[in-house]
Amino acid sequence: MPSDPKAWFAHDRFGMFIHWGLYTLHADAEWHWSYNEVDREEYFKYLDYFDPDLYDPREWARLARKAGMTHMTLTAKHHDGFCLWPSQHSEFTVTKTPHGKDLIGPFVEACRAEGLKVGLYYSLIDWHHRDFGIDIFHPMRNIEDPEGYNAGCDVARYQAFMKAQVRELLENYGRIDHLFMDFSYPDQIYRGLPGKGRDYWDSANLIALVRELQPDIIVNNRMDLTDVAADFYTPECFIPNARPTRNGEPVLFEAAFNTNEAWQHKRTGTQPKSPHQLLQTLIDMIAMGGNLLMNVGPTARGDIDAENTAALKAYEEWFARHERAIRGCGHSTFDAPFGCRLTQNGNRLYIHLYNWPYRHLYVKGLGGKVAYAQLLDDASEITWLPPGRQVRGEGEGLRGLDPVAMPDDLLILELPVAKPGAVIPVIELFLKD
């Protein structure tokens, strides 16, 4: 791997996102305060009951590592403003709960103990802070006089508050590898109330502070600095239909997804993704030249529930035999066959078969370019037909019809009839030099 301290990100490709905080007690949505326009004092009741007695970040890290993930990113502060660390710049922190202790420090130590990179999520939004003005997402957006409330907000003071908290996170816990800042919405106006973007956050000076404190950190694109190339871009819960580009050049991106249809722990109605969906999402991202940040939501007691654990187990079982089709791989310029995706690492080309075909797989552009082929799961050889040779049964069955051209650059792989046991089988091609 190159010596560039940021090169790990494009090489490793797969990380864990963790949404966890005071809102987890509600067990429905991390946006509960906003969605339901909950009264401030009603929301603050959760401070009296947040006591994650089963919190074991080392177990989180073990699960992530076994699943093939190489970094973990935890929501240090979400939009409600609740801090998982004892911030000196807010009274809305874990120290005001029965747990009473820092949660970020043990998380950072657990990541390092399991050989994982450390990531933190920090929300630019803070509904708890008096200097954060009411806007389209604020829980108080429908009060009678939001303009009067906003007149009492000191934006400069809020900017100083954010910088002070970011400084705490980036100075007090050693090296932080991955920073997810969230999020900007300058064009979203509600009842005449403006959205928020780079000017409100003072993004230029905020990112400069981040770079000063942690020069090797990877930072995302959600601070509304659209005129500056970000380290990585962040599609959320959707798969782009083409490689994302900036000024015509492909960019590095990390798509954030969840194992079900919830970011935080949700008690019911989660709609969990199948093992095939989970793996397909990962492969789709790598085949497009991006990364995947797969989210789990621990319970309010601090453990990862059975549903999320099962999702991680699906990755673990597949990664045990297919890791090299992901790690170090990226986009391939070859055309993928129907129902397949391609990833490539040098002269190794990997065909991920979402649908197992009957006996033959037609791959355009690879005729004469392959030295050897095997099923990655068990390293059993896969053979192919010589150029121009007909598939058995084609001649008599199609007699009298127009002949079908079999160009020399068409590779026809011969497959076993029965689909192998892997959820998504992979064929490894060794390309000629």
HEC-encoded secondary structure of 357-385: CCCEEEEECCCCCEEEEEECCCCEECEEC
The two three-digit tokens of residue 114, written as one number:
């399991």
Per-residue pLDDT of the chain (433 residues; tens, 9 = 90+): 457 989 999 999 999 999 999 999 999 999 999 999 999 999 999 999 999 999 999 999 999 999 999 999 999 999 999 999 999 999 999 999 999 999 999 999 999 999 999 999 999 999 999 999 999 999 999 999 999 999 999 999 999 999 999 999 999 999 999 999 999 999 999 999 999 999 999 999 999 999 999 999 999 999 999 999 999 999 999 999 899 999 999 999 999 999 999 999 999 999 999 999 999 999 999 999 999 999 999 999 999 999 999 999 999 999 999 999 999 999 999 999 999 999 999 999 999 999 999 999 999 999 999 999 999 999 999 999 987 666 666 667 778 888 777 888 999 999 999 999 999 999 999 999 9
Buried b (16+ CB within 10 A) or exposed e, 1-11: eeeeebebbbb
Place of tokens 């782009």: 240
Task: Give the SS3 label for residue 231.
Answer: coil
Give me the pLDDT at residue 354, please: 98
**What is the rounded CA–CA span in Å between residue 321 and residue 378?**
8
pLDDT of res. 397? 76
**pLDDT in the model for residue 296:** 98
Strands (DSSP E) contained in 86-128 are 117-123
Domains and CATH numbers, the chain: 7-325 (3.20.20.80), 340-431 (2.60.40.1180)
Predicted pLDDT at 20: 98
Identify the pLDDT of residue 399.
80
The answer to whether the CB of 39 falls within 8 A of the CB of 45 is: no
Which of 162, 165, 171, 175 has its CA nearest to residue 108?
175
Helix 104-113 to helix 57-66 angle (10° resolution) is 40
Task: Say if CB 72 and CB 119 are below 8 A apart.
Answer: yes
pLDDT value of position 394: 62
- Strands, E, within 67-177: which ranges? 71-77, 117-123
- pLDDT at position 400: 83
Nearest residue to 276 (alpha-carbon basis) of 314, 312, 306, 326: 314
- pLDDT for 148 equals 98
Cα Rg, the chain, nearest whole Å = 25
Region for residue 399 given its phi and psi (left: phi exceeds 0; alpha: psi -120 to 50; beta: otherwise) = beta
Q: Measured between alpha carbons, how far is residue 94 from residues 46, 48, 102, 171 in Å?
A: 11, 10, 7, 19
